[in-house]
Structure 1
Amino acid sequence: MEWLNVQTLIWLFPILFIIHDFEEIIMVEKWLHHNRHKLYERLPQKIADKVVKQFSMSTAQFAVAVLFIFLFVSLSTILANYYFLNGVTFTIYFFTAVTLVFFIHAFTHIGQSLLFRSVTPGAITSAIIIIPYSIILFKSLFTSGILTWHIVLISLPFGILFFPIVFTAHWIGKRVI
């Protein structure tokens, strides 16, 4: 797999992100419509209310939200490749934070499918694309010496900052269309 070097893996990130999110875009509105009652059966009411409120949007609105998030994913990818050109280390921290969130996010889809005993939006691409890609990416970054556990531990808390970005993206999606 020499053709699949670290830079290629980094550039694959936004492509695989959008493939995953296409699955979510296509499925989320219909899934929520047909499974709203399951949310209230399996989750505490306050949490179910928040999930329904957060994801009660049309497919077009959700696509706008995904576009907004895609801009951050793309920025992290561009900055990570900037590391190869100029050796600016902070760019790897940003990319690491974003890819760690994406990796962890994939497991939430698997957990949702187990909880609801059905295929949920994003579960298929999480299982066959995102988790394997993330493992290969992180292994390559570690092997090449670009990523260290120190960088991971520093980057991980910054992943929490992605939540306001997602909430803002959903807010924008609901307002634009």
Structure 2
Amino acid sequence: MYFFSIRFLMIFMLHNLEEIITVESWMKKTYPRVKKRIPAGIQKEIDKMQDMTAARFAVVVFILSAMVSVLLAWTMWYGKFFLFLGINLIFAVNIFTHPLQALYLRCYTPGLWTTVLLIIPYYVLFFYYTAIAGLWHVNTLLSSIVILILFIPLFLFSHKIGEKVAARL
């Protein structure tokens, strides 16, 4: 477990750094060029974030990182594996989102390189070794899904906070 928790933190940090570094430029340069390929409903939501800056996104990442750190610490101190699995299920969404966005838009999307080079290999090993170790139980999986669902409002809230904080910068 320790092996995966350290790797998770490293990959989580590197992935978020890639997004922070590239999101502002992508929104200004690439988004206007690919906007017509995006369905209208999704385009409307992205347009709300058109003024996304690296600073604003960094606030979002900070809030999410703080929560992930608390859950990871709780996992290590109390052996609550479902918390770590829940965090991993949330982060595993990147396996699909970034590559599919890039394929659909036919361009680089923020977070693509770390997804392909770090996140996907991490999850191949993570799911393989946790399955061999017998850590997948119905109760653990259900509890992890609850963590995943509870994280959705936090994710949305972090974007609202990021917007407000960045407006003051």
- Partner of residue 67 from structure 1, selected from 58, 62, 82: 62
SS at match of 2:136: coil
5+ residue gaps, structure 1: 1-5, 85-90
User: Are residue 121 (structure 1) and residue 116 (structure 2) matched?
Assistant: no
2:103 alignment partner AA: L
State how far apart, in whole Å, the 2-side matches of 1:121 and 1:20 are: 9
- Name the structure 2 match of 1:104: 93
Alignment partner, residue 87 of structure 1: none
The TM-score normalised by the length of structure 1 is 0.84
Unpaired runs of at least 5, structure 2: none
Q: Which residue of 1 aligns with 2:158?
A: 169
8 Å contact kept, 1:11–1:77: no
The letter of the residue matching 1:124 is W
Letter in 2 for 1:80: T
Identity rate, percent = 31
SS of match in other structure, 2:63: helix
Aligned pair count reads 166
- Choose 147-156 or 64-73, whichever is displaced more: 147-156
Q: 2:51 aligns with which of 43, 53, 56?
A: 56
Task: Name 1:31's counterpart in structure 2.
Answer: 26
- Counterparts of 1:95 and 1:130 in 2: how far apart (Å)? 15
Q: CA deviation at 1:39?
A: 4.7
2:36 paired residue number = 41
Contact 1:36 1:52 in 2 (8 A): no
Match of 2:81 in 1: 92
CA distance in 1, matches of 2:18, 2:138: 32
Q: What's the TM-score once normalised by structure 2's chain length?
A: 0.87
- RMSD of Structure 2 on Structure 1 (CA): 1.9
Given that 1:10 and 1:80 are in contact with CA atoms closer than 8 Å, whether structure 2 keeps it comes out as no
Per-residue CA distance 1:84-129 (angstroms, 9 max, x = gap): 4xxxxxx222221111111122310000110111111001100110
Q: Could you tell me which residue of structure 1 aligns to residue 134 of structure 2? A: 145
Residue 18 (structure 1) aligned to one of 13, 19, 23: 13
Aligned to 1:130: 119
Map of 1:7 onto structure 2: 2
Query: Is 1:14–1:77's contact at 8 Å kept on the other side of the alignment?
Result: no
Q: SS at the partner of 1:167?
A: helix
Q: 2-side partners of 1:148 and 1:163: how far apart?
A: 23
